[in-house]
Copies of this chain bind each other. A is one copy, B any other.
Amino acid sequence: MRLVAQPSVSARKEGIEECAVLVEKMLQEIGAKTKMLRLEGAAPLVYGEIKSTKSNKTVLFYNHYDVQPEEPLALWKSPPFKPEIRDGVIYGRGAADDKGELVSRLKLIESYMKVNGEPPCNVKFCFEGEEEVGSVHLHDYVSKNHDLFKADGVFWEFGETDLEGRPYMSLGMKGMIYLELIVKSLGADQHSSYAAVLPSASWRMVRLLNTIKDADERILIPGWYDAVENLTDEELELINQYVFDEKEYLASHAAEAFVAGLSGDQVKKALVQRPTANIAGIWAGYMGPGSKTVLPMEIHCKMDFRLVPQQDPDDLMKKLHAHLEKNGFGDVEVKVESMEPAARTNSKDPLVKAAMRAGQEIYGKKPNVEVSAAGTGPLYIFTRGYGASAISIGVSSSDCGMHAPNEKLRLDYLQKGMLWVGQSIEYFVS
């Protein structure tokens, strides 16, 4: 509640410095040695560590102290930055994402300090302040302080337990290339009667896009799938066991069917292992009401390509450029916004086994394991070049209202989640 009461909206750069100082103080209060890392124009990265004589292994907690904007204010039952407890639930912006999770890591280690005088292994804390705006400086922070972030196991920021008490864990994240394609055909928009003789950027974009993906949603860029590995038997088993309600999922998105005729385990496999080519935005010409007869001079298309492990963004960009060249689109502008590789921990990894065993014991239910999240995050920053394992588990509930009004943290879930993380560490380092 102390941390939630300190606003830290990175989108508005509001309260970030104050929150970083508070987080550093809270780290020091549990006995951590801290460093406030700074880069020009970036939110401070709060680093902390506590040594242990019990194990030479090191665990790193990645969390963030910034939060989403609180709007729409009118929908909050209590003020977003004046947290309050109602019926065993803390309400406030960041109560779950990610201040509740962050504090759960602090309080867990503080408990070890109080009971045993030290944690079960060396512990590092990496708390950034720009997660909600794309972790834009995280890669720089880590690569400039490489040794500081060395660890054997990484606990990623977040994890949910559903309302039936089934805990979820995730073993990785997809990578991503985000880019914008720009086709130009004329010096200015023209009267559309000229479309009889002048080239159309829009039709050219349609033809270009049509070379990217076929009607079965398969990406047509030669070599795009070359590095994609088959899922292992263990991964397939985890996917098979993963609890996922297809009908409810479709209904909640008002979709009639899954893409490309997917059903059953194919859907779950696609979320884990299907590279995507998504049109995130496209625009040209007249977008207002009624009609305007214009031949637009240019068209823009924003795309995100989700990547799976072993797909190398640099290699894929070369393949995309070669594909465009070969199909007569070599002159089309390709503006890359960001590239990051996927990261995934092997399902047989000791950290995974430890967390699965601990989860079963604490919750009395088999954890629902996401072999990979469908989304993207900078997980690779802490695993590539470190050989670290990483999982994402935590203390939130599936109804925590992340990014929404009345975000909440259930105190019983907080307690169980802390036990789960602690027990996972103990199994991992023993």
Contact = CB atoms under 8 A, between A and B. Distances in A.
A213 B210 CA distance: 12
Interface string A236-263: 0000000000000000011111110010
Contact of A203 (B255, B279, B286, B291): B279
Contact of A255 (B198, B253, B375): B198
A137 to B, nearest CB: 15
A267 to B, nearest CB: 5
For the complex formed by this chain, how many copies does it contain in all?
2
Interface string A168-194: 000000101010000001111011111
A178 B293 contact: yes
Interface stretch (A139-147, A294-302, A345-353, A422-430): A294-302
B279 A198 contact: no
Nearest to A268: B197
Given A186-B254, A203-B217, A255-B186, A195 B293 contact: no
A123 interface: no
A282 B284 contact: yes
A284 B213 CA distance: 18
Nearest to A173: B193
Contact of A259 (B199, B283, B284): B199
Interface residues of A, number: 69
A206 interface: yes
Nearest to A279: B202
Contact of A306 (B193, B207, B376): B193
B193 A174 contact: yes
Contacts of A373: 193
Given A291-B302, A296-B281, A302-B291, A195 B276 contact: yes
A200 interface: yes
A216 to B, nearest CB: 11
A310 to B, nearest CB: 17
Interface residues of A, dominant DSSP: mixed
A74 interface: no
Given A196-B270, A258-B198, A259-B198, A281 B285 contact: yes
A197 B261 CA distance: 9
A196 B268 CA distance: 10
A163 interface: no
A56 interface: no
A324 B290 CA distance: 22
B278 A185 contact: no
A195 B285 contact: no
A188 B251 CA distance: 12
A217 B204 CA distance: 10
A294 B279 CA distance: 8
A374 interface: yes
Given A178-B291, A186-B253, A279 B271 contact: no
A304 B306 CA distance: 35
A115 interface: no
A300 B300 CA distance: 14
A253 B187 contact: yes
